[in-house]
C-alpha cells in the first residue's frame, strides 16, 4: 500500500466532530443525551461554538432549570454571597440571589466590565461540563476509542486549545500535519493492530 494511502486510511478514522446545541447544559438529561450521541456517532466534540451567547441562553431558562440554578450559584460564589456587591457590579436592584433565578436579564447591560468578565468565566464552566461528558463517553484527547485501538502519540498528546479537544485534527487536517508521516506507521501498531501500514522504505522499493 502506498504511503499516501496509508495516511488517508489513518485520516478516515477521524469522524466529523459533534457541535453541541444550546440547552440545559447542567442537567443530567442534557448530559446523558450528549454522552449517548458521542458514543453512537463515535465522534469528538467541537466546542468552538460555546461562547457568551450560551450564557445569555442560560439566563433566559426557567427558574427551576439546573443551568439557571448553576448560574445563580456561580454568581453567589463570585460575589461572596453579598447581593449588594452584585447589584453594584451589574447595575441591578435584586433583593436576594434567589430573586435572580426568575429575574428578566434582558435589561442587563452586557457591556459592563463585571458582566463581561463573569460571562467569560461561566463559559469556562460550561465547557468544563461538556469536556467531562466527552471524557465519560470514552474519548481520548477528543477522539473515540475506535475499535479499542490506542490513538497515535501526536493525537493523544495534542494540547487542548481554545476550548477544542484537539487543535490539529478536529477539522480533518491530518494529512497536512507535520507529524503525520512519522506517526502514521504507529497509528494502528499497539499489539492489537487493526490495519498494517507499510514502512516508507517498502514503498520506495516497490517503485
62-82 confidence digits (pLDDT tens) = 999 999 999 999 999 999 999
Q: What average pLDDT does the chain have?
A: 74
Q: Give the integer Cα–Cα distance in Å for 167 and 55.
A: 24
CA distances 136 to 35, 38, 108, 204, Å, are 7, 10, 36, 43
Q: What is the pTM for the complete model shown?
A: 0.63
Among residues 15, 139, 125, 8, the alpha carbon closest in space to that of 74 is found at: 125
147: pLDDT strictly greater than 50: no
The band of 56, judged by pLDDT with boundaries at 50, 70 and 90, is very high
Would you state the pLDDT for residue 42?
Answer: 83
Would you state the pLDDT for residue 5?
Answer: 52
Give 30's Cβ-side CA count (13 Å radius): 15
Residue 203 C-alpha from the chain's centroid: 39
Domain spans, the chain: 1-16+151-207
Query: Exposed/middle/buried for 141, CB within 10 Å: 0-12, 13-18, 19+?
Result: middle
The band of 10, judged by pLDDT with boundaries at 50, 70 and 90, is low
14: pLDDT strictly greater than 60: no
Q: Give the integer Cα–Cα distance in Å for 206 and 1.
A: 10
Would you state the pLDDT for residue 141?
Answer: 42
Would you state the pLDDT for residue 116?
Answer: 98
Would you state the pLDDT for residue 191?
Answer: 39
98: pLDDT strictly greater than 50: yes
Mean pLDDT to the nearest integer, 9-18? 60
114: pLDDT strictly greater than 90: yes
Highest mean predicted confidence (pLDDT) among 37-51, 128-142, 154-168, 175-189: 37-51
Would you state the pLDDT for residue 82?
Answer: 98
Highest mean predicted confidence (pLDDT) among 34-38, 113-117, 150-154: 113-117
The band of 4, judged by pLDDT with boundaries at 50, 70 and 90, is low
Amino acid at each position: 500500500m502506498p504511503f499516501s494511502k496509508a495516511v488517508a486510511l489513518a485520516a478516515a478514522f477521524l469522524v466529523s466532530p459533534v457541535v453541541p446545541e444550546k440547552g440545559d447544559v447542567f442537567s443530567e438529561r442534557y448530559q446523558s443525551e450528549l454522552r449517548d450521541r458521542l458514543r453512537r456517532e463515535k465522534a469528538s466534540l467541537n466546542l468552538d461554538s460555546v461562547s457568551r451567547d450560551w450564557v445569555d441562553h442560560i439566563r433566559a431558562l426557567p427558574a427551576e432549570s439546573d443551568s439557571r440554578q448553576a448560574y445563580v450559584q456561580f454568581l453567589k460564589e463570585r460575589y461572596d454571597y453579598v447581593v449588594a456587591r452584585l447589584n453594584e457590579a451589574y447595575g441591578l436592584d435584586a433583593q436576594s440571589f434567589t430573586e435572580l433565578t426568575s429575574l428578566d436579564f434582558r435589561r442587563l447591560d452586557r457591556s459592563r466590565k463585571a458582566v463581561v468578565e463573569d460571562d467569560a468565566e461561566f463559559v469556562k464552566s460550561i465547557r468544563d461540563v461538556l469536556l467531562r461528558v466527552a471524557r465519560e463517553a470514552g474519548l481520548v484527547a477528543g477522539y473515540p476509542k475506535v475499535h479499542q485501538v490506542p490513538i497515535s502519540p501526536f493525537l493523544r498528546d495534542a494540547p487542548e486549545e481554545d476550548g477544542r479537544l484537539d487543535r490539529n485534527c478536529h477539522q480533518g487536517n491530518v494529512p497536512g500535519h507535520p507529524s503525520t508521516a512519522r506517526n502514521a506507521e504507529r497509528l494502528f501498531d499497539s499489539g492489537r493492530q487493526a490495519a498494517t501500514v507499510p514502512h516508507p522504505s517498502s514503498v520506495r522499493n516497490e517503485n
